[in-house]
């Protein structure tokens, strides 16, 4: 990250990191009190101010480590999928007309109901696919696979079918961790005895517990604190934790009401729509 104070609580810009401070900012921006700052239906802010805030939030999470020139040259998609339903709608209307002519009311009702359900779901949030090329970076893939706490500036991009393997010693989740200092029962008893009338006024030092050991020789698993709501593996990755490896299966996709690009913001919400991907770097 370029900014050394990336987890600033005042700005509260979400990043790709398992740092507890960043997890707190993720909660504040997604479902916490700051989520209302990106809801502008009844806002007095101008359109320019809304777009500026949206670009700032989206770039903070998806690409603050990539400058504008590099993003436009290497990561900006040339096209996005066409989500218009002209062919499907025309085919459905033709089926309805033929069904009415043939007096097949059951088929007409089925086709009409299916078309109404598709219309209710709306269009696919293809705007989030603006960051598909960034999701192919090897450092982001390793982070998405939950094999690293954060990522740096690796520029290698994976193709469908590529596999990456991580040294287990480099995965902090799988390392033994020292427990915090705590008073043992013996220490508590000594403190009570001293309080009742012991001549010594100096408290005994608190013993330090040894590092947490795995039971039965199993590998320890210590996820970051407070990470449970945000820790998941995207559908376009196949992760093997016993082998500490991940396979990039395919590029992320989107469908009505759902996007495979992980983001702390609604994939079809105001933040993603007003950020416009490309403009987020300008």
Of the two residues 187 and 227, the one the predictor is more confident about is 227
Alpha carbon dihedral 110, 114, 119, 124, in 10-degree steps, equals -170
Q: What is the pLDDT of residues 47-85, one digit of tens each?
A: 888 888 888 888 889 887 888 888 888 888 887 776 555
What's the rounded mean pLDDT across residues 86-108? Answer: 68
Please give the radius of gyration of the chain, using alpha carbons only, rounded to the nearest integer.
26
- Residue 96 tokens, joined: 């309805």
- Residue 95 tokens, joined: 């089926």
1 pLDDT above the threshold of 50: no
pLDDT confidence of residue 195: 45
Q: What is the pLDDT of residues 237-282, one digit of tens each?
A: 999 988 999 999 999 998 887 889 998 888 877 887 777 655 555 5
What's the rounded mean pLDDT across residues 34-49? Answer: 83
């Amino acid at each position: 990250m370029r900014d050394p104070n990336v987890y600033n609580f005042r700005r509260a810009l979400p990043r790709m990191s398992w740092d507890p401070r960043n997890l707190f900012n993720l909660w504040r921006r997604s479902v916490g009190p700051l989520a209302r700052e990106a809801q502008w239906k009844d806002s007095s802010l101008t359109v320019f101010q809304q777009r500026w805030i949206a670009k700032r939030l989206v770039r903070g999470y998806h690409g603050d480590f990539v400058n504008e020139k590099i993003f436009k040259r290497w990561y900006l998609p040339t096209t996005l999928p066409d989500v218009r339903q002209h062919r499907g709608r025309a085919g459905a209307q033709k089926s309805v007309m033929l069904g009415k002519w043939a007096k097949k009311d059951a088929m007409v009702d089925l086709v009409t109901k299916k078309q109404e359900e598709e219309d209710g779901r709306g269009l696919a949030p293809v705007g989030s696919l603006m960051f598909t090329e960034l999701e192919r970076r090897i450092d982001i893939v390793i982070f998405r696979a939950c094999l690293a706490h954060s990522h740096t500036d690796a520029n290698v991009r994976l193709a469908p079918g590529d596999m990456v393997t991580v040294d287990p010693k480099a995965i902090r989740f799988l390392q033994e961790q020292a427990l915090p200092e705590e008073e043992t029962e013996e220490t508590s008893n000594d403190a009570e005895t001293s309080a009742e009338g012991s001549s010594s006024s100096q408290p005994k030092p608190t013993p330090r517990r040894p590092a947490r050991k795995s039971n039965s020789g199993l590998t320890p698993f210590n996820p970051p604190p407070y990470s449970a709501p945000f820790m998941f593996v995207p559908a376009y990755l196949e992760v093997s934790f016993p082998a500490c490896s991940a396979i990039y299966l395919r590029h992320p996709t989107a469908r009505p009401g759902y996007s495979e690009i992980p983001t702390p913001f609604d994939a079809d919400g105001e933040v993603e729509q007003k950020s416009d991907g490309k403009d987020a770097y300008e």
